[in-house]
Amino acid sequence: MAEPNSGVRPGVGLSFAGIYEGLLEAFGPQHWWPADTPFEVAVGAVLTQNTAWTNVERAIANLKEAGCLTPQGLLDLSPERLAELIRPAGYFNVKAARLRALCEFLLGECPEGDIRHLAPRPTTSVRNELLRVKGVGEETADSILLYALDHPVFVVDAYTVRIFQRLDLLETGLSYGDVQARFHAALPTDRALFNEYHALVVALGKDHCKPRPRCGACPLRVDCPTAGSPD
């Protein structure tokens, strides 16, 4: 039997498409995004900025319990009360302001503030509009596009960059747009594929690809600088 990390797994090539196949085999379909509504996706996308999802879940549960998980519902809260409800997600003052900005944007752009009205617009238009909202950067905008509005954009996050740099499929110093372009060029434009791929990247990153290398059992069993150096 082969040792973990002893080489490239049979059938799993070191390509963007090959890594996807390996991840899918290792983890199975992830069925993302974990949310009940497109608006909840958008709220989660803001709350999860630089934050563990378990903490986001607590914050969203608080918003649900308070019965205010709508654009108008969040705006009807005082900024202090909103911050209090999302406290478990960290950066609560910053994120309260960001959520309010997002809600104001939605109520200005969509009937009833229903984010689903953005879906029929061209991807680049929606993306640029989202990026003008204070607190919505490229990753957050793309997460909303993909997981709330079903647009085929690849979401690049810290895990994506770290994992694919270690696999030598991305060089250092690339911008968000550079990395995204690599994936778009290498993969078919497929919303379901991008959805699953990003979810699988997070599944790998969470447990197997930390900033400080300590992975001794990569599920992909590919050559990687962290191989054989667990904590």
HSE (side-chain half, CA atoms, 13 Å) at 24:
16
Which residue, 72 or 214, is less far from DNA as judged by CB?
A: 214
Can residue 226 be called a binding residue for DNA (CB under 7 A)? no
Q: What is the total count of residues that contact DNA (CB under 7 A)?
A: 42
CA distances from residue 56 to 50, 59, 214 in whole angstroms, order as listed: 11, 5, 26
CA distance 208 to 167: 13
Q: Which amino acid is at 158?
A: A
Where are the alpha helices (H) located in 3-157, listed in sequence order? 16-27, 38-47, 53-65, 71-76, 79-85, 92-109, 123-131, 138-143
Window 105 to 134, contacts with DNA (CB under 7 A): 133-134
Interaction of residue 206 with DNA, rule CB under 7 A: yes
The one among 48, 180, 195, 226 contacting DNA by CB under 7 A = 48
Q: Within a 13 Å sphere around the CA of 20, how many CA atoms are in the beta-carbon half?
A: 16
Task: At 79, list the tokens.
Answer: 């900024």
Nearest residue to 198 via CA among 230, 137, 152: 152
- Region near DNA per CB under 7 A, out of 5-13, 70-78, 111-119, 153-161: 153-161
Piece in contact with DNA (CB under 7 A), picked from 15-23, 44-52, 116-124, 221-229: 44-52
Give the one residue of 5, 70, 140, 195 binding DNA; rule: CB under 7 A: 140
CB of 158 vs DNA, minimal distance in Å:
4
| CB 54, min distance to DNA, A | 5
Per CB under 7 A, 138 contacts DNA? yes
212 makes contact with DNA (CB under 7 A): yes
Asked if residue 44 binds DNA (CB under 7 A), the reply is yes
- 149 belongs to the binding site for DNA (CB under 7 A): no
Spatial distance between the Cα atoms of 212 and 17, rounded to a whole number of angstroms:
26
Residue number with CB closer to DNA (12 or 139): 139
Residue number with CB closer to DNA (95 or 182): 95
Q: Smallest Cα–Cα separation from 209: which of 159, 146, 144?
A: 159
Using the rule CB under 7 A, is 91 a contact of DNA?
yes
**CA–CA separation, 228 and 148 (whole Å):** 39
Closest distance of CB 145 from DNA, Å: 11
Q: Does 92 bind DNA (CB under 7 A)?
A: yes
CA distances from 20 to 123, 129, 228 (A): 24, 31, 23
Residues in the site for DNA, rule: CB under 7 A?
32-34, 44-45, 48-55, 58, 87-88, 90-95, 133-141, 143, 147, 157-159, 202, 205-206, 210-212
